[in-house]
Amino acid sequence: APSGAPCGYDFRTITIIKSPYRNDCRLLLTPAFEGKTELELEEEYTLSSDKYREHLQANTALVNQLLSDFSVAGWELVETHAVQEGPPPAAAVTRYLFRKAKK
């Protein structure tokens, strides 16, 4: 391969867990990004529609900022995957897979 050509990729994953249980919504960063491995998300399973919208907007803003930060750092989003995991009431899990060419 010519000098300077990529030799494979490094990968990074964001995992978002939206749990139906109180205070158990998380965003996991693997490997750590800017020294962080986990961020707490606002609880979205709430009886108040106003609080639901407020928390959903806050979580969306956090995820969008993180996606922008990854993009600026040279990471390319290559796949997203969303599933329900566990017995009902199930947690919603979304994974974002990023790659960056090795130098």
In tens digits, the chain (103 residues) has pLDDT values of: 456 666 899 999 999 998 887 778 999 999 999 999 999 998 877 667 788 889 999 999 999 999 999 999 999 999 999 998 878 778 899 999 999 999 8
Give the pLDDT confidence score for residue 43 in this predicted structure.
84
Tokens of 45: 């399973």
Give the pLDDT confidence score for residue 78 in this predicted structure: 98
Domain of 30?
A: 10-101
Number of domains the chain is built from: 1
Flag whether 63 is in a domain.
Answer: yes
Q: What angle do CA 37, 41, 44 make, to 5 degrees?
A: 150
56: its two tokens:
């959903």
pTM: 0.82
Residues, the chain, total?
103
- Is residue 71 in a domain? yes
Domain assignment present for residue 4? The answer is no
Q: Is residue 2 part of a domain?
A: no
Q: What are phi and psi of 79, to 5 degrees?
A: -165, 145
Q: Whose CA is closest to 46, among 19, 84, 74?
A: 19
